[in-house]
Amino acid sequence: MIMGEKKPLSEIREMLKGYKKVLVLGCRTCVAICMAGGDKEVELLSSQLRIASKKDGEELEVLEDAVERQCDPEYIEPLREKVEQCDAVLSMACGCGVQFMAELYSDKPVLPAINTDFIGVTERTGVWTERCAQCGNCVLHLTGGICPIARCSKTLLNGPCGGSQDGKCEISPDIDCAWQLIYDRMAGLGQLDRLEEVIPAKDWSASRDGGPRKIVREDVTDDVKEEAKK
């Protein structure tokens, strides 16, 4: 899931200067799980903004809401009436949600309350760690399900560097050497021979060949659905 952290209140208040009425909008999916932008976080941030504004003698009316996903039009289109009441929207979604809200409501400023960090997992309560760098060409079948791009400090694709010691990265003793993890995993699977296969250097230009990346499933597009109804 996408991981994010709430921006400092001072930075958020600076963004809101000049606006009299704002909608604090949460997202109940990824950022809710990492406790950055769900219903509770919306309520807390809204209260902080009201208290801080009142203390400083500033006029600020804060509305609250949250949707399942801000990256999906079916959830954000019903917000139109509430959005139109406000001077700006303060989105507590990831960067995708902020941008999609801005596209749909082009006449309203949509401001980010969250810093989007990475795609990761819940390691334990209150701890989330990166697992995927979205490189567009997955090699996990060659590395025992452990991503060398996301988990190796040097993103090495063919074995460890000379700096790792005792299974730890030279960057920090708190960071596991990704290639030690890969080796141990492949040994446990009895597949060490797979590590003899050289993984070609990634062609980053292929994954970023101009403009935003896109996936199109022709079999489920609206055009196909409409044709099937005929």
Beta-strand pair 88-91/110-112: parallel
Ranges of each domain in the chain:
2-118, 137-230
Asked if residue 230 has pLDDT above 60, the reply is no
- State the Cα–Cα distance between residues 99 and 214, nearest whole angstrom: 15
pLDDT band of 91, cuts 50, 70, 90? very high
Instruction: Work out the average pLDDT over 9-18.
Output: 96
- State the Cα–Cα distance between residues 86 and 103, nearest whole angstrom: 16
Res 136: pLDDT: 84
- State the Cα–Cα distance between residues 21 and 15, nearest whole angstrom: 13
Q: Tens digits of per-residue pLDDT, 188-221?
A: 999 999 999 999 988 776 666 667 777 788 887 7
What is the pTM for the complete model shown?
0.84
Domain at 2-118, CATH from 3.30.1120, 3.40.50, 3.30.780, 1.10.10: 3.40.50
- State the Cα–Cα distance between residues 51 and 49, nearest whole angstrom: 6
